[in-house]
A and B are shown apart, each in its own frame.
Chain A
Amino acid sequence: MINRRKTLALAGVTLAASASLVAWAETDGHPYDKLVEMGYPAPQEGELVHVPPTMADLEAADMKPQTKAVIRRGYDLFTNTQQLRGKNVFNDMNCSSCHLGEGRQPFSAPVWPAAVTLPNFRGKNQHVNNLEERIAGCFAYSMNGTPPAYGSDDMLALSAYHQWLAKGAPVYPDQPIYGRGFPSPERTDELSYTNGEQLFADNCAVCHSEDGSGLYQDGEYVFPATWGDGSNNWGAGIVRTYTAAGFIKNNMPLGQPLSLSDQEAWDIAYYMTQQERPQDPRYTGSVDEVLEKFGPTFHKHSSYGQEREVDGHRLADHANWGEKGEEVKPWNVGQPRFEDLDVE
């Protein structure tokens, strides 16, 4: 019964998104009422509001059993990416460590927008990326690994899961997307490392440990590492202080989103992003070179190469690649595309 309700809601929302939000608001109940009640912003007129289908909806869907099996495989990889440990993943993360709610959750970087907005130009690598290349980026940076090959079973399954979550949403939408990314709270004037350290101990350490190494039970992952070798490397989106602040504000502590003030979220983010982690795979032996090349598009938002005030430590000035070591190089990093294409 619950599933049927969701499917109906989905149809209603998709219609409303392309027509008008007013008409839709008149219908009974709003799929994101709960979020609004919890303090998240309500959808604004003109925003694209999409409720991704669930895995229960998949079982009920009129699709080929083979297709369902591949989407199920994608879901399994997304929520238990550790099964690719040592092959594609060289840290302690799962996709769902950051994309909460199985990649469906607004304000938690839901992943379905990638399926309807790509191929598109991406500032991070300065060329047009499709869905597979975008997912490959997560493997190189957030998972500190190297991606499954384009067109491989694992890559296909992951992209199929993304596309399934986008079911019914318009492709290349003109409207802004409700709950996209990790919207950052308003930047406060001063960021305090020591305040962040204290707040981390008080609010985060029970799950992520004081040393940021996460929490394990009998060697099995429970809570992700917030820094160190078990965490994302220096090239991941969440090393940008504003992205980390947005993640924290909208999602942490688990089950109590929006409970930290903007200042607290920024301070924790500042503290967290000033800890060491595996090197950015774009590093070629010099922090300054990375800053020169990728500062303007990326690292101007991170603490990469900065001197930490408390101890003068220069962040990321090392050749520690984490568990993947020297041998494993993400094959997708630094691969240009369309170099001869005339943009004008």
Chain B
Amino acid sequence: MTSKRILSGLGLLLGAGLAAGQAVALEGDAQRGEEAAGTCVACHQADGSGMNVPGGESWPRLAGLDADYMAKQLHDIKEGSREAPTMMPFVNMLDDQQIADVSAYYSQLPATQGDGGDVDEAVLARGEQLALRGDWDEYIVSCKSCHGPGNQGVGSTFPGIAGQHAGYIENQLHAWQEGRRANDPQNLMGAIAQRMSDEDITAVAAWLATQPATDE
């Protein structure tokens, strides 16, 4: 099933003009991935739940994310379109096959709940507005328009962000603003991140963390 997803995702990735097409085409094996993931668990945990680290660098939940999406991120970190200094030494330990394998492994783990959503109700309300309806007066398109129903992700291009740790989402949006991350197709996320205030970023990250990553 994983391999079918990977193959169907390939067309989309190539269509978007992204690099690493050949590497992405590799079929991941979740069992081999579990062994290769030994290097990941210190931060991302054995169950792939990651950790919300307020004020520090949060480690994203990987459990249940799309395999092709994760593989692409690992390649992008290697190639520099996504800066992640902490990840660099670990990514460099993985070859293309291992990247496909660990991605397959984490994708089939059950999603865990996000942390960092324990903020004021007014902040959560603003976050909900941005996530579901956007703020068109500031030309901030809703998260849902691309990240799909429930913000649970669409294909391999638009990752699930519901149930992700608030600290991680916050950090990524700032990374887009500051140019540390530029690996989205056509700058679709970057353009919107640019228009978000610090308060908006905090609010939307917190609200998303409170949401279920899947309907199951």
Contact = CB atoms under 8 A, between A and B. Distances in A.
- The judgment on whether A and B are partners is yes
B150 to A, nearest CB: 9
A206 interface: yes
Interface stretch (B28-36, B84-92, B161-169, B184-192): B184-192
A255 B149 contact: no
A206 B138 contact: no
B15 interface: yes
Given A202-B17, A220-B148, A253 B136 contact: no
A100 B149 contact: no
Contacts of A104: 136
B102 to A, nearest CB: 24
B155 A215 contact: yes
Contacts of B134: 101
B141 interface: yes
Interface in B1-55: 11-12, 15-17
B119 interface: no
A102 interface: yes
A328 interface: no
A205 B13 CA distance: 11
Interface string A180-194: 000000000000000
Interface stretch (A30-38, A128-136, A331-339): A30-38
Contacts of A56: 129
A203 B138 contact: no
B188 A253 contact: yes
A207 B155 CA distance: 10
Interface in A250-277: 253-257
A301 interface: no
A284 interface: no
Interface in A26-48: 31, 34-35, 38
Interface in B137-188: 137-139, 141, 145-146, 148-149, 152-155, 157-158, 185-188
Contacts of A2: 126
B173 to A, nearest CB: 13
A255 B153 contact: no
B15 A206 contact: yes
B186 A256 contact: yes
Contact of A35 (B139, B146, B185, B192): B139
A35 B135 CA distance: 13
Given A217-B149, A222-B154, A34 B187 contact: no
Given A206-B157, A217-B153, A217-B154, A34 B146 contact: no
A91 interface: no
A255 B188 contact: yes
B186 A222 contact: no
A304 B11 CA distance: 31
A255 B136 contact: no
A202 B15 CA distance: 7
Contacts of B155: 215, 217
A217 B187 CA distance: 22
Interface string A63-80: 000000000000000000
Interface string A96-108: 0000111011000
Contacts of B192: 255
Contacts of B186: 203, 206, 253, 256
A210 interface: yes
A6 B137 contact: yes
A56 B125 CA distance: 11
Interface in A197-217: 201-203, 205-207, 210, 215, 217
Nearest to B11: A210
Interface in A211-260: 215, 217-218, 220, 222, 253-257
A244 B146 CA distance: 21
Contacts of B153: 217
B141 A254 contact: yes
Nearest to A100: B136
Interface string A146-172: 000000000000000000000000000
B184 to A, nearest CB: 10
B146 A101 contact: no
A190 B180 CA distance: 40
Contacts of B129: 56
Given A206-B185, A253-B186, A255-B188, A34 B148 contact: no
Contacts of A222: 145-146, 148-149, 154, 158
Which 9 residue pairs across A and B have the least CB separation, nearest first? A101-B136, A217-B148, A217-B154, A255-B192, A220-B149, A255-B191, A255-B141, A256-B191, A206-B16
Given A253-B188, A256-B186, 6 more contacts: A38-B139, A101-B136, A201-B15, A207-B146, A210-B15, A217-B155
5 contacts: A2-B126, A6-B137, A34-B137, A34-B195, A105-B136
Interface of B: 11-12, 15-17, 126, 129, 133-134, 136-139, 141, 145-146, 148-149, 152-155, 157-158, 185-188, 191-192, 195
